[in-house]
Amino acid sequence: MTSVLTAAIDVVIVNWNAADQLRACLASLAESDGAEHLRVVVVDNASSDGSAESLDRPGLALTVLRNAENLGFARACNQGAAHGSSEVILFLNPDTQVSRDGIAIARARLVSDPGIGIVGARLVDEAGHTHRTCARHPTGVSLIAHTLFLDRLLPGRVRPHFLLDWDHAETRAVDAVMGAFLMIRRPLFARLAGFDERFFVYWEDADLCARASAAGFSVCHVAQAEIRHRGQGTTEAVKDRRLFYFLRAQALYARKHHGRAAFLAVLAAALAVNLPVRLGRALVRGKAGDAAAVIRAGLMLTGALPRLLTGSGR
């Protein structure tokens, strides 16, 4: 498939201590076909590594918004999107590098059918191996089961969240694509009021795709749009917060889409099973650092319980 980018696209990149990964991402954008049509907004969430400095690239329209504190991924995405006006918005992680025609191919698919609201790309690692990142809409039961690791213990009975049994080699409709490369029509994004900012990080992409589907739009994986993605590029060094925010967001998703009973069950499963299992596994493997991170994550989740249970905070 050959596509040429001829219309403006707002590209929103949320940065938090992404270091050289962000610069590599911007370099790939500057070298992509139709780069002159890209309007890039980097929203820096109070990075401390200087990664938001000296980012200008010749031929790339770039704006950097600097937040005094880390506002979270969802809120920063909304902030960046509000800065633009193009009919199509691309949310891109800083640990990605786009291929020369990847953005153009994805956009061509998005605008080819008015029923498509969101498209994602085929994400690959440095060796070219495809990440299986498209996902199912989780049910309340599946969220509980996954928190209990039943998809690993009983793989024949509990399907995984991600479509691991599909090689992602074909373009097709899916339930959800990953937010590392998520392209959406601006009118739909506005209709949905953007990302739900209660998700500080994680599950905000699944939630957006679920709401787009509920609004009558399809979500499409575009296999020909190949994008390099490192994965966990900026959160590897903060395993405790990463685990806390993941479990917290999973519970919030359960409450929003499946009610309070599912929410409470997911929280209970996280505290009574998920965290203890992770701790035990880390101890058995002799990884004291990982064990300490699990304990800190558990303390953070316990500390967040009052606000979670009352629905009074993000």
Could you report the per-residue pLDDT of 186-216, keeping only the tens digit for each? 999 999 999 999 999 999 999 999 999 999 9
9-133+168-229: CATH, from 3.90.1150.10, 1.25.40.10, 3.30.750.24, 3.90.550.10:
3.90.550.10
Give yes or no for residue 313 having a pLDDT over 70. no
Give yes or no for residue 230 having a pLDDT over 70. yes
Tens digit of each residue's pLDDT (9 = 90 or more) over 150-175: 999 999 999 999 999 999 999 999 99
Residue 148 is predicted with a pLDDT of 98
Tens digit of each residue's pLDDT (9 = 90 or more) over 36-83: 999 999 999 999 999 889 899 888 999 999 999 999 999 999 999 999
How many Å apart are CA 136 and CA 162, to the nearest integer? 6
Tens digit of each residue's pLDDT (9 = 90 or more) over 259-279: 999 999 999 999 999 999 999
- Mean pLDDT of all residues in the chain? 95
Radius of gyration of the chain (CA): 19
Average pLDDT for 109-118:
98
| Confidence tier at 226 by pLDDT (50, 70, 90) | very high
Q: Supply 212's token pair.
A: 């787009």
What is the pTM (predicted TM-score) of this model?
A: 0.95
| Confidence tier at 3 by pLDDT (50, 70, 90) | confident
| Confidence tier at 5 by pLDDT (50, 70, 90) | confident
Q: Within 10 Å of residue 112's Cβ, how many Cβ atoms? A: 12
The answer to whether 241 and 297 are in contact (CB under 8 A) is yes
Average pLDDT for 1-9:
79
Q: Which residues contact 281 (CB under 8 A, 6 or more apart)?
A: none
Break the chain into its structural domains and give their ranges: 9-133+168-229, 239-306
How many Å apart are CA 75 and CA 190, to the nearest integer? 14
| Confidence tier at 2 by pLDDT (50, 70, 90) | low
Q: Supply 180's token pair.
A: 């590392």
Number of H helices, E strands in the chain: 11, 9
Residue 203 is predicted with a pLDDT of 98
Average pLDDT for 2-25:
91
Average pLDDT for 292-313:
92
Q: Supply 104's token pair.
A: 């153009």
How many Å apart are CA 73 and CA 200, to the nearest integer? 6
How many Å apart are CA 144 and CA 87, to the nearest integer? 38
- H/E element, 62: strand 61-67
